Copies of this chain bind each other. A is one copy, B any other.
Amino acid sequence: MADHPVLRYLSPGAWSLIEPLISQRAKGLLTSLVEFLENDVLPSEKLFHAQIPSHPPEARWASIPPVMERLKHRAKGLGLWNLWLSGGDFQGMAGGEGGGLTNLEYAVMAEIMGHSAILAPQATNCSAPDTGNMEVLARYGTPQQKERYLIPLLKGDIRSSFSMTEYGVASSDATNLRNTTALPDDSGNLSVKGHKWWITGAGDPRNVIHIVLAVTDPKNPSPHKRHSLVLVDPRAKGVKIVRPLTVFGYDDAPEGHCEVIYDGVKIDVENGVVGGTAGLGKGFEIIQARLGPGRLHHCMRTIGIANRALDILLQRVSDPNRKTFGKYLKEHGTVVADIAHSRAEIDQARLLVLAAARRVDVAGAKGAMQDIGMAKFTVPSMALKVVDRAMQVHGAEGLSEDTPLAYYYGSLRTLKYADGPDEVHIQQVGKNELKRAEKLKERTEMIKQKSDSLLKEAGKLKAKL
Contact = CB atoms under 8 A, between A and B. Distances in A.
A427 interface: yes
A66 to B, nearest CB: 8
A450 to B, nearest CB: 3
Contacts of A251: 249
Interface stretch (A90-98, A185-193, A265-273, A436-444): A436-444
A13 B368 contact: yes
A426 B395 contact: no
B396 A414 contact: yes
Contacts of A444: 315
A289 interface: no
A410 B391 CA distance: 12
A50 B315 contact: no
Contacts of A173: 323-325
A88 interface: no
A318 B16 contact: no
Contacts of A430: 335-340, 343
A426 B339 CA distance: 9
Contact of A454 (B47, B250, B351, B404): B47
A233 interface: no
Interface stretch (A36-44, A119-127, A143-151): A36-44
A23 interface: no
A371 interface: yes
Contacts of A425: 340
Given A67-B454, A358-B13, A249 B410 contact: yes
A370 B15 CA distance: 14
A271 to B, nearest CB: 31
Interface string A386-397: 000001100110
Contact of A413 (B315, B325, B399, B437): B399
Interface in A33-84: 38-39, 42-47, 49-51, 54-57, 67
Given A337-B430, A352-B344, A246 B249 contact: yes
A378 B46 contact: no
A377 B46 CA distance: 35
A236 interface: no
Interface string A1-35: 00000001001111011101100000000000000
Nearest to A325: B173
Q: Ordered nearest first, which 9 A-B pairs have the shortest CB separation? A: A249-B249, A50-B463, A333-B333, A43-B450, A336-B430, A13-B355, A351-B351, A340-B430, A348-B348
Interface of A: 8, 11-14, 16-18, 20-21, 38-39, 42-47, 49-51, 54-57, 67, 165, 168-173, 176, 198, 245-251, 257, 310-311, 314-315, 317-318, 321-325, 329-330, 332-341, 343-344, 347-349, 351-352, 354-356, 358-359, 361-363, 367-368, 370-371, 374, 377-378, 391-392, 395-396, 399-402, 404, 406-407, 409-410, 413-414, 416-418, 421-431, 433-434, 436-441, 443-444, 446-447, 450-451, 454-455, 458, 460, 462-465
21 contacts: A12-B371, A13-B368, A17-B21, A38-B446, A46-B463, A50-B458, A50-B463, A55-B56, A168-B321, A170-B322, A170-B395, A173-B324, A247-B249, A315-B437, A330-B437, A334-B426, A335-B430, A337-B426, A339-B430, A340-B425, A344-B377
